[in-house]
Structure 1
Amino acid sequence: MKTQALTALLMASSILGSAGMALADTTLTIESWRNDDLSIWQEKLIPAFEAKNPGIKVVFSPSAPTEYNAALNAKLDAGSAGDLITCRPFDASLELYNKGHLADLTSLAGMENFSDVAKSAWTTDDGKASFCVPMASVIHGFIYNKEAFDKLGITPPATEAEFFAALDKIKADGTYVPMAMGTKDLWEAATMGYQNIGPTYWHGEEGRLALIKGEQKLTDAQWVEPFATLAKWKDYLGDGFEAQSYPDSQNLFTLGRAAIYPAGSWEISVFNTQAQFKMGAFPPPVKNAGDTCYISDHNDIGIGLNAKSKNADAAKTFLSWVASPEFATIYANALPGFFSLNSAAVKMEDPLAQEFVSWREKCKPTIRSTYQILSRGTPNLENETWVESANVINGTSTPEAAAKKLQEGLESWYKPAK
């Protein structure tokens, strides 16, 4: 009897053990360049997924950011890459898809939760196929020192006239540099300047897509006007802004010496730890009261499926979860300033992040005008826009001359622009 009981016990243990192995026999590996958020994946995201999907285990395996592209391509070519591929925006991921490394996710359950703008960084040029689930974007606007505004009796400006009136008031008081931005690093002038306010003039996606089709030119009024507005910024940036680096601008603001900071939302988590004053934010001012508001809600990171994954079904289960409001809420709150691209509203715990993301409810979103298609040739339109934005603010080039140079450069290699 003892032998029979022992045999039965061993058989039961074996069956249960096999069942346990069956439940945990699928392990997914995520390739990523974001090694800075390893703990967020390990402590928050993966446990939340595995709790609902006990048959699937997930391993987050990042590379150093500077090594990611080369390392990933080598793994893909060798057939040793992970099941899930973290996607950079636009051309780098499109190239992987065109080479057959990323699977078509157009019909994946959950993709209906994203707008065309949200998916644009991971969609083919003809718009027929999407190959990465959008994870997060960054939003542009202006962060301000609430204490400075309260002291000077300034309310967040909604129109351009109010914006420049606020700058004039700050400058006249003399306590603060009106606006913290330098032109030494070039990209700052374009990213937080031209691409921040520009969508208001070229009407976001309407203008961006027209430029890609060759229906508009960079010398058209709506593309020149933001340069003209930037030229006015020169008087409010403080002494020596031409030699001021990006870290200098950050320090100028967080030390309480400047009242306004032209911003990307990625600054939020850094500013929260450094600034000793309360902060607020406002979207790019409209030209006239009642005008439609536009924001640069720029796609930053997505995740796709290795086309040669041996665990495609499990990987798709994971990707559908990434497309869910649950993932969106966890991710966006773990990384304030990196916002979910999911159409479902995400309640942000950080008040400054919530302010930024609330603009989606009243403003039309677009992405940076130079990022899709238009910077594939030489001269590179994105890099040239850095230079010309800085030149216009410095006063070494006129808005018209800057626009002319950009258009001529684009026409030199991009046929629809001619």
Structure 2
Amino acid sequence: MPNRFIRLLGCAFLLALCLGTAARAGTLVIESWRVDDKALWEQVLIPAFERNHPGIEVKFAPTTPTAYDAGVAGRLAAGTAGDLVACRPFDVSLALYRKGYLEKLNGRPGMQNFAPTAMVAWQTDDGNDIFCMPVASVIHGFLYNKKIFNRLDLQPPRTVDDFFTVLDVLKKSGVAPLALGTAEQWEASQMVFTSIGPNFWRGEAGRKALIGGRAKLTDAPFVEALQFEARLGTYLPKTANTQSYADSKALFATGRAAIFPTGSWEIAHFAQTPGLELGAFAPPVRRAGDACFISDHMDLGLGINRKSKNRADALQFLAWVGSQEFADLYTNRLTGFFTLSNHLIAMRDPVAKQMAEWRNACASTIRFNAQVLNRGQPSMESELWEVNAQVLNGSLAPHAAAARLQDGFAKWYKPQQK
């Protein structure tokens, strides 16, 4: 075989090898638990990125929510995880960072578009290291049926007294006041206690006082939140303890209940319900003139796998996630999930816009036990589920509920053992 032909074959082989390596290196895989967002990523977000980043292919590879945490941790440990990792807020992702699985993102392109307060869910306890870029938050509140309210000449309540007056009118009219059950327990904690509680314990001030050991769960603000909840329980149907979250959604969607304690993530679902005129109101304040607080839960961040073979491309993608284009697409295509960036977004959905504007009038706080309070046993999360469900069902008195929560907390948290 002539030497020239051999050299040509060798060059062709090397060129093919280089091209193949480049193709493999340019494919980014995104790990996530958000299976319901798959169409958004594949049909909107990824194509928008790829249009301006030729040569970088992106694949969205979600895992079912219940299997995600253990699954992605295992893949990160084995070196088989994707390049980009959807980050749960606070302790779950912090544990991944401490194990060396996630890149440190301080000062990376795109991070400059987030205020320090937007990063607290994805930073170390001392605030020195940031390991995931903030993506979106959700806001807790109450959705209501405007047609029912108009028919009964009701206004969205602002105070606790207003709220129970509205519930009384609804109950007397024969309409179920609340689409709320306790069968799954988590609703009692996250849809009620987490939502209304900040107006009693003054949001971050109360939460941080617990962490610092300056307050106890048996203090008046926390007991009063449980007392509100106990009173709320008297407006639930007798079958509330067998009513699931899906049952509650159906009850509200069909107009058989007037108010749904939930969050912004359900706006898109109910916006597609024929005949339902949707409204929203913020958790009621204790008294007229009180400052208001909302649970503005940091839901999703995005980090980089430290073992990624496509680190440079992953950083490009992350920089785009911090851009105006991504914030606009995500906020307006995934209604009820709000960008955590500083970009000004013109929200098209009126209910989502209304809920986002609560941030201007009220102070934001995170879910009650999202940070630090879940790090011991008994699990604060599990305790809150059980205790709040029992309070709503009327089987556990508010003072006894507070004592149980405090006793469990003090068993493992040293600042509470003073």
User: Structures share a fold, TM > 0.5?
Assistant: yes
In the other structure, the counterpart of 1:203 is 202
Instruction: Single out whichever of 46-55 and 379-388 deviates more from structure 2.
Output: 46-55
In the other structure, the counterpart of 2:184 is 185
1:139-158 equivalences under 5 Å are: 139-158=139-158
Residue 87 in 1 paired to residue 90 in 2?
Answer: no
Deviation, 1:55, is: 4.4
- Deviations 1:116-138 (Å, cap 9, x if unpaired)? 44322211122211111111222
Deviation, 1:269, is: 2.2
Q: Distance in 1 between matches of 2:111 and 2:221?
A: 33
Residue 398 in 1 paired to residue 397 in 2?
Answer: yes
Q: Distance in 1 between matches of 2:204 and 2:114?
A: 16
In the other structure, the counterpart of 1:348 is 347
Q: Distance in 2 between matches of 1:116 and 1:380?
A: 29
AA at the equivalent of 1:86: A
Deviation, 1:153, is: 0.7
Instruction: Single out whichever of 42-51 and 237-246 deviates more from structure 2.
Output: 237-246
Asked if structure 2 preserves the Cα contact closer than 8 Å seen for 1:25 and 1:55, the reply is: no
1:4-19 equivalences under 5 Å are: none
Asked if structure 1 preserves the Cα contact closer than 8 Å seen for 2:270 and 2:276, the reply is: no
In the other structure, the counterpart of 1:322 is 321
Deviation, 1:148, is: 0.5
Deviation, 1:24, is: 10
Instruction: Single out whichever of 297-306 and 87-96 deviates more from structure 2.
Output: 87-96
AA at the equivalent of 1:150: N
Q: Distance in 1 between matches of 2:154 and 2:262?
A: 19
Q: Distance in 2 between matches of 1:339 and 1:251?
A: 25
Secondary structure of 1:95's aligned partner: helix
AA at the equivalent of 1:413: W
In the other structure, the counterpart of 1:264 is 263
Deviation, 1:311, is: 2.6
In the other structure, the counterpart of 1:338 is 337
Distance 1:64 1:229, change over 3 A: closer
Residue 410 in 1 paired to residue 371 in 2?
Answer: no
Asked if structure 1 preserves the Cα contact closer than 8 Å seen for 2:25 and 2:310, the reply is: no
Secondary structure of 1:68's aligned partner: helix
Instruction: Single out whichever of 313-322 and 94-103 deviates more from structure 2.
Output: 313-322
1:124-139 equivalences under 5 Å are: 124-139=124-139
AA at the equivalent of 2:255: G
Asked if structure 2 preserves the Cα contact closer than 8 Å seen for 1:375 and 1:381, the reply is: yes
Q: Distance in 1 between matches of 2:114 and 2:207?
A: 19
In the other structure, the counterpart of 1:65 is 65
Q: Distance in 1 between matches of 2:399 and 2:302?
A: 40
Residue 76 in 1 paired to residue 65 in 2?
Answer: no
Instruction: Single out whichever of 28-37 and 318-327 deviates more from structure 2.
Output: 28-37
Distance 1:65 1:397, change over 3 A: closer
Secondary structure of 1:285's aligned partner: coil
Secondary structure of 1:302's aligned partner: strand
Secondary structure of 1:67's aligned partner: helix
Q: Distance in 1 between matches of 2:382 and 2:99?
A: 26
Residue 241 in 1 paired to residue 245 in 2?
Answer: no
AA at the equivalent of 2:291: T
Q: Distance in 2 between matches of 1:54 and 1:288?
A: 57
Deviation, 1:104, is: 0.9
Asked if structure 1 preserves the Cα contact closer than 8 Å seen for 2:293 and 2:364, the reply is: yes
Instruction: Single out whichever of 107-116 and 247-256 deviates more from structure 2.
Output: 107-116
Deviation, 1:202, is: 1.2
Q: Distance in 2 between matches of 1:161 and 1:61?
A: 48
Deviation, 1:79, is: 2.2
In the other structure, the counterpart of 1:313 is 312
Deviation, 1:207, is: 1.3
Q: Distance in 2 between matches of 1:291 and 1:144?
A: 23
Secondary structure of 2:345's aligned partner: coil
Asked if structure 2 preserves the Cα contact closer than 8 Å seen for 1:24 and 1:54, the reply is: no
Residue 165 in 1 paired to residue 183 in 2?
Answer: no
Asked if structure 2 preserves the Cα contact closer than 8 Å seen for 1:113 and 1:344, the reply is: yes
Secondary structure of 2:412's aligned partner: coil
- Deviations 1:127-163 (Å, cap 9, x if unpaired)? 2111111112221000000000100111111122211
Q: Distance in 2 between matches of 1:35 and 1:151?
A: 39
Gapped regions of structure 1 (runs ≥ 5): 1-14
1:20-39 equivalences under 5 Å are: 26-39=26-39
Q: Distance in 2 between matches of 1:401 and 1:112?
A: 47
Q: 4+ residue runs of structure 1 moved beyond 6 angstroms?
A: 21-25
Deviation, 1:90, is: 2.1
Give percent identity, aligned residues only.
50
In the other structure, the counterpart of 1:12 is none
Q: Distance in 1 between matches of 2:223 and 2:114?
A: 32
Distance 1:258 1:335, change over 3 A: same
Q: Distance in 1 between matches of 2:171 and 2:70?
A: 48
Gapped regions of structure 2 (runs ≥ 5): 1-14
Distance 1:39 1:215, change over 3 A: same
AA at the equivalent of 2:237: G
Residue 40 in 1 paired to residue 40 in 2?
Answer: yes
Q: Distance in 2 between matches of 1:280 and 1:257?
A: 16
Asked if structure 1 preserves the Cα contact closer than 8 Å seen for 2:100 and 2:306, the reply is: yes
Asked if structure 1 preserves the Cα contact closer than 8 Å seen for 2:217 and 2:406, the reply is: yes
In the other structure, the counterpart of 2:281 is 282
Distance 1:80 1:182, change over 3 A: closer
Asked if structure 1 preserves the Cα contact closer than 8 Å seen for 2:25 and 2:309, the reply is: no
Q: Distance in 2 between matches of 1:366 and 1:115?
A: 15
Figure out how many residues of one structure are paired with residues of the other and give that number.
403
Asked if structure 2 preserves the Cα contact closer than 8 Å seen for 1:24 and 1:56, the reply is: no
- Return the TM-score normalized by structure 1: 0.90
Distance 1:23 1:413, change over 3 A: closer
- Return the TM-score normalized by structure 2: 0.90
Q: Distance in 2 between matches of 1:58 and 1:78?
A: 22
